[in-house]
Structure 1
């Protein structure tokens, strides 16, 4: 995922006894939070070393504060170290993006269900779906999911062509009632595994309390609004060096390149490149 995510060997050699002591401290204590944030910054290189060499469960074992409900603060600290100055790019650019994207939606969206959503956007009908949620959903209709190969034992080796709905649900899934939260995740995870993939970070829209939960590996970060959830979900991929889900990969690569201006080895689809160019030329 990352262009150069891990510390150099020279950096690793200079992990001194103080930083190693801080690593141990962070494995034991859950407060005070200001001291946690200070020690978290000091142990960045040690953490990146672990991410480069360990399995994801082992990373969570060695850095248990990521499982804390406020662990997203630590994700933000690491992202700011990794890409200094880019931490607020999505939130800062969003309003300008909204003004530019609507004419593109109107000219390109062909899918019937997405046209119904677009009608809500054009008519300012946000009784159920907040405007930003609709915009994110509509991105999947112009950044179409790409065909990919499954190699799972269940699905065997075959080409898969996700639908727009598959793409939308691999980024945001909806839960209507609190008692359906875990069953909904379990059902979706089973569906993902059947196609030879692992459940990657995603956003859960909780209608029962009007919130958004960024979910990965049974970790839950809760937000009141969709944009901070989208921002944090993106940063998790980079900080923990995780892969984008295949169905919505083009949407995440668009967010990476257009909003955060981050280039990696991930190749952008023609749809992504055309959309970025159209947004640059669409001066509103």
Structure 2
């Protein structure tokens, strides 16, 4: 879709994006942009799981509960394991360097408060224990975008305990797209960003750039990853290349 429209305008103009079949349309549009990249996350993710687990096992930022989740990967099935890994991924990826902002009263430049790990994780995906909470998430998202005049952005939804996922979705404004598994929810979210020309959520941008560059092998001039993120991307791409 090459038109210069907002996400809201796209959804209003094209009724086909407001039904479950829209998932196929987003895939097709992404494949036109990047014909060889559509299946790369699915095909490459499992190759890198041992490396990500090893990196997380040596990470000192994990709390006790997160260490238990990481250890549980030996005994649970892949879909749930992917939810756990993606929930811990922010520990390996530095957040964006905060820009300075000017105090209204003094005119002095100050640094914004650094995001907590929980805030970064919640910006990457939404974790619900009950599917009945979906409507509340939609309402809060609408209120926030209207209050701060933000662009509507897709975000993955994981339902159920991280050790036993029961459903996954992607939400975009008022639309809910059900997906077959955790990895597909992130894959669809990523492709929607490209198909509708919308930015990644700012607080989770480094996480999405990691997936974009390491797995889909897409480099854009605007990415500007940090040195630490570039290093991790290089590690993961090397693992993928070794097993290809």
Please state which band the TM-score falls in when normalised by the shorter chain: 0.7 to 0.9
* The one of 81, 84, 87 aligned to 1:131: 81
CA contact (8 A) 2:154 2:171 kept: yes
Alignment of 1:250-261 (within 5 A): 250-261=206-217
Q: Note the residue ranges of structure 1 that are not aligned, 5 or more in a row.
A: 1-46, 152-156
Aligned to 1:93: 44
Alpha-carbon separation, structure 2, partners of 1:235 and 1:268: 20
Alpha-carbon separation, structure 2, partners of 1:196 and 1:117: 37
Compute the TM-score of the two structures, normalised by the length of structure 1. Answer: 0.70
Determine whether 1:200 maps to 2:187. Answer: no
Determine whether 1:167 maps to 2:120. Answer: yes
Alpha-carbon separation, structure 1, partners of 2:100 and 2:132: 32
Residues 194, 278 of structure 1: alpha-carbon distance in 2 compared, 3 angstrom cutoff = farther
CA contact (8 A) 2:42 2:183 kept: yes
Alpha-carbon separation, structure 1, partners of 2:228 and 2:26: 30
Q: CA RMSD in A?
A: 2.9
Residues 60, 198 of structure 1: alpha-carbon distance in 2 compared, 3 angstrom cutoff = closer
Counterpart secondary structure, 2:29: helix
Alignment of 1:58-207 (within 5 A): 58-112=9-63, 113-121=65-73, 124-126=74-76, 130-148=80-98, 159-187=112-140, 190=143, 197-207=150-160
CA contact (8 A) 1:175 1:184 kept: no
Of 103-112 and 222-231, deviating more is 103-112
C-alpha displacement of 1:277:
2.4
Alpha-carbon separation, structure 1, partners of 2:179 and 2:10: 24
Of 213-222 and 55-64, deviating more is 55-64
CA contact (8 A) 1:193 1:199 kept: no
Alpha-carbon separation, structure 1, partners of 2:202 and 2:158: 20
C-alpha displacement of 1:162:
1.6
CA contact (8 A) 1:173 1:203 kept: yes
Alignment size in residue pairs: 227
Larger Rg: 1
C-alpha displacement of 1:62:
2.1
Counterpart secondary structure, 1:220: strand
